Amino acid sequence: MAVNIIKIKRTTGTTAPSSLNAGELAYSGGAGTQGNNGQRLFVGDPANSNAVTVIGGNYFSNLMDHAHGTTTASSVLIVNANKSTSELRTPALYLGTSGNDTLVTSTAAELNALDGITTNVTELNYLDGVSLGTVVASKVLAVDANKDLTGLRNTTTTGQVAAASLDISGDIDVDGDSYLDNVDIDGSLIVDGAIDFNSTTFDVDATGLITIDSSNNNGIKIGTNSSAKPVTIGHTTSEVTVGDNLVVTGNLTVSGTTTTVNSSTVSIADPIFEIGVSSSDDNLDRGIKMLYNDGASRIAFMGFDDSDGKFAMIPRATDTNNVFSGTIGTLKANIETGNTGLKVGDSVPFSDSSGALTLQNVDALDATTEATIETAIDTLSNLVTVGTIGSGTWQGTAIASIYGGTGLTSHGSTGQILVSTGSGFVMQSIDGGTYS
């Protein structure tokens, strides 16, 4: 069985291809070293004038093929799950960020001399240059006589923190519980344990994002400790976003100008939907305003016209401050008239001399009833409106193809199909023809 194989450019040597088309691949199979291009995968870089670009190869993967956390000669450095490695050697050690780092000049013997020392801070003269109570760069921390410390930045502790007076100008990360009293933190505070604030006023003013989150299924509660306590969220000009389901167990009052609901289903259990107010005559219409587009933006209105006290349906309405105007539309519905007769001013269908159905007003009370209207419709000879014929038997002449018919009066013989002649349709047999 044939096998389709896609091959890329390749060499058994250790050189890169001289050129590649955009997206074209190549591979060098020769033994790779730091000084050659062996065991490399190349591609023509379309964003860089199709330059031959190294994108991988087993030369690089071999550099990473060793146990994590074990320093391996001539290989990349991969730390283990504890972010550590077995050993690290360097002729010079710098601590700090690039441009502000400091070279560590202590020898190994000097550093090892600190291992296991039990001498207190006073005996070491506070490690030369330490100012009690004030953080000094590149020096150990030493609180003052009041156990205060000022100027601490970017601090992490794995135990509990209890402070009576502490000025922190950077970030603080506490893995245990935090008991803070009169603490000024100019950076961020990260506490992995519990935080207990017992104060008259708790005020958080931030210039950035404030996030309150919990991984516990009990969720987050605000203002639930006691009843009848007001809870305010957001400024009068701010926007409040609820990212998930919102359940209101009490009454919901919306006092804004516009209420917008962008949902696929709106369910209301109340059987009566109340709109508008009746305290005074505001001369405004009542009903439903519907937006749609039929090639242009449109408004449809169905409701109560306050100007004449009648119900109206306007397919293309104009909304002038909740007063709707426009041409009245057509109602499509089944109407049950009853047998009580018609009133003066009512419109009923009559056929004119051409057989077309028209609406005419009843000029005076008479005995015209539903039966009269039905007779007028049954005797129509020309139906000019749009509708659907749901039942019955067609007994008229053949319908021409221009009107959606076939123009045929018979169905032809068995085995024939309907074929277009260009101007109509005919029934013909299926015949493949002859050949010599």
Instruction: Write the pLDDT tens digit of every residue in 131-140.
Output: 677 777 666 6
Confidence class for position 119, pLDDT limits 50, 70, 90: low
CA dihedral 119, 125, 130, 132 (to 10 degrees): 90
> What's the pLDDT at 435?
40
Does residue 262 have a pLDDT over 90?
Answer: no
Beta strands (DSSP E) in 323-411 are 324-325, 347-351, 357-361
Highest mean pLDDT among 29-38, 89-98, 139-148, 337-346 belongs to 29-38
Instruction: Please give the pLDDT value at position 286.
Output: 95
Backbone angles phi, psi at 110, to 5 degrees: -65, -40
Query: What is the arithmetic mean of pLDDT over 9-32?
Result: 91
> What is the reported pLDDT for 365?
35
Can you give the pLDDT at residue 238?
Answer: 83
C-beta neighbour count of 341 within 10 angstroms: 15
6-10, 63-67, 112-116: which range is least confident on average? Answer: 112-116
The winner for highest mean pLDDT among 234-238, 257-261, 327-331 is 327-331
Whether the per-residue pLDDT at 382 is higher than 80: the answer is: no
Alpha-carbon radius of gyration of the chain: 44
Following CA atoms 247, 248, 254, 259 in sequence, which dihedral angle do they give, to the nearest 10 degrees? 20
Is the model's pLDDT at 311 over the cut of 90?
Answer: yes
Q: For the residues of 374-386, what is the DSSP string, one character each?
A: HHHHHT-S---S-
Kindly report whether the global pTM for this prediction surpasses the value 0.85: no
Angstrom distance (rounded) from CA 352 to CA 359 = 10
pLDDT value for 11: 92
Question: Taking 50 as the threshold, does the pLDDT of residue 1 lie above it?
Answer: no
- Cα 427–430–436 angle (5° rounding)? 135
**Count of alpha carbons within 13 angstroms of residue 345, beta-carbon side:** 0
